[in-house]
């Protein structure tokens, strides 16, 4: 259980980090959407390891294969299966942790839950599982753009104590992809890269914040009470490996403001209701209001460090462990497409739910 996400647009990811393959089954994609591997591959390339010297050096091409649900370049309305073969799995790198628990990983918690675990690279708890999410979201992004004009852009807002100054109203995908850390603030990006390099040399890791904006989301998406738009966004994003925090709009900074400062006044601009400010991040009462949706995801420092740490073995005996293998010194550059993907999956799901509401076609 727990491997499926969404209601109308449902995705089920499968596979382990060092197994034969990983992938996803997408159910609920409408028929007639033009879809080829070329629509999916660019998103996987943004997520894959080995793309620069500041990420994991695992050598994976992450080439997608569409195995079902598409005929003559069009979706059939039936389940779409996408697979990616693992090419550079090295289970032997994890032999030392077969009977030991890595601090702040899922080793102990999985053992406690299931009584068994895949100790080769973390199995399902590995960020390699997100290949399926990113592949599915490539389809979601295409639908959102085609049918609603929605654009989703994510970028690195903060790494360690380094915070970027970014104008979310004008930032573009080209700005984000202009450097290897995916921070549109070029000066701060240079400092971030240097700090990541320092952490890698010290055998340590860093955390940070990804900010995502969604442009063009119409008013009315989201469901009352338990399926509020920000509630589903929070669930989706917090399900990402290493993600430990979520906020929308003003987020936690909103507690330093008064109600008169925080409220977003409405006005009428050429017959369209707008707000003068956007402290609510484009969502009020759990439903989109037609403004820019703004959210942030906080990622902890990567748990695998190349330093000796205290731990216990599976019998509870005191021991030590040191990281081996190929790991990200900072997950943030590769987390950008992951967070974007969860936003896309939530938005397309709510778009299709809204389309199904009586009397609504938006």
Enclosing H/E stretch for 84: strand 80-85
Q: Which residues of the chain have pLDDT under 50?
A: 359, 361-362
Place of tokens 């019998």: 315
Q: How far apart are the C-alpha atoms of 182 and 153, rounded to whole Å?
A: 11
Place of tokens 């903060």: 158
Q: Which residues of 206-232 are buried (b: 16+ CB within 10 A; e: fewer)?
A: bbbbbbbbbeebeeebbbeeeebbbbb
Which of 139, 134, 180 lies closest to 159 in space, CA to CA?
A: 180
Q: According to the model, what pLDDT value does residue 91 have? A: 67
Phi, psi of 127 (to 5 degrees): -65, -10
Task: Note the residue count of the chain.
Answer: 362
Residue 50 neighbours by CB under 8 Å, 6+ apart: 56, 57, 58, 59, 60
Write the CATH number for 138: 3.60.150.10
Total count of domains within the chain: 1
Q: How far apart are the C-alpha atoms of 331 and 316, rounded to whole Å?
A: 30
Domain for residue 199, yes or no?
Answer: yes
C-beta atoms surrounding 67 within 10 Å: 13
Kindly compute the dihedral angle of the four CA atoms of residues 245, 300, 279, 256, in this order, to the nearest 10 degrees. Answer: 90
* Structural domain boundaries, residue 292: 4-355
Q: According to the model, what pLDDT value does residue 361 have? A: 47
Domain for residue 361, yes or no?
Answer: no
Residue 52 burial (C-beta neighbours within 10 Å; 0-12, 13-18, 19+): middle
Q: How far apart are the C-alpha atoms of 268 and 2, rounded to whole Å?
A: 44
Q: Which residues of 106-119 are buried (b: 16+ CB within 10 A; e: fewer)?
A: bbbebeeeeeebbb
Domain for residue 72, yes or no?
Answer: yes
Domain for residue 233, yes or no?
Answer: yes
Domain for residue 362, yes or no?
Answer: no
Domain for residue 143, yes or no?
Answer: yes
Q: How far apart are the C-alpha atoms of 231 and 250, rounded to whole Å?
A: 15
Residue 226 per-residue DSSP state: G
Domain for residue 297, yes or no?
Answer: yes
pTM across the whole model: 0.95
SS3 content of the chain, % helix, strand, coil (to 5): 35, 25, 45
């Amino acid at each position: 259980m727990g491997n499926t996400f969404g209601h109308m647009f449902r995705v089920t990811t499968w596979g382990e980090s060092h197994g034969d393959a990983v992938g996803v089954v997408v159910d609920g994609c409408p028929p007639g959407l033009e879809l080829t591997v070329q629509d999916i591959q660019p998103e996987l390339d943004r997520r894959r390891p080995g793309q620069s010297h500041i990420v994991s050096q695992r050598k994976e091409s992450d080439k997608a294969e569409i195995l079902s649900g598409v005929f003559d370049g069009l979706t059939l309305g039936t389940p779409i299966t996408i697979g990616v073969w693992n090419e550079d799995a090295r289970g032997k790198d994890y032999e030392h942790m077969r009977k030991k628990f890595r601090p702040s990983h899922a080793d102990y918690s999985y053992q406690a839950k299931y009584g068994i675990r895949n100790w080769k690279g973390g199995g399902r708890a590995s960020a390699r599982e997100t290949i399926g999410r990113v592949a599915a979201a490539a389809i979601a992004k295409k639908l959102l753009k085609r049918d609603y004009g929605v654009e989703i852009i994510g970028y690195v807002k903060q790494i360690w104590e380094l915070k970027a100054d970014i104008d979310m109203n004008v930032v573009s995908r080209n700005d984000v992809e202009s450097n290897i850390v995916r921070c549109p603030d070029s000066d701060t990006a240079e400092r971030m890269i240097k700090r990541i390099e320092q952490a890698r040399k010290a055998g340590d890791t860093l955390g940070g914040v990804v900010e995502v904006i969604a442009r063009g989301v119409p008013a009315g998406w989201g469901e009352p009470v338990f399926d509020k738009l920000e509630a589903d966004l929070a669930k989706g994003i917090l399900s990402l490996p290493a993600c430990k925090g979520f906020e929308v709009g003003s987020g936690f900074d909103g507690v330093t403001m008064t109600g008169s400062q925080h409220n977003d006044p409405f006005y009428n601009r050429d017959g369209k209701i707008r707000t003068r400010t956007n402290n609510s991040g484009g969502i009020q009462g759990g439903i989109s209001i037609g403004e820019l949706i703004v959210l942030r995801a906080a990622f902890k420092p990567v748990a695998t460090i190349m330093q000796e740490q205290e731990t216990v073995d599976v019998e509870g005996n005191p021991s030590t462990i040191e990281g081996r293998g190929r790991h990200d010194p900072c997950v943030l550059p590769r987390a950008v497409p992951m967070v974007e993907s969860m936003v896309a999956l939530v938005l397309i799901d709510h778009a299709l739910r809204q389309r199904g509401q009586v009397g609504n076609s938006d």
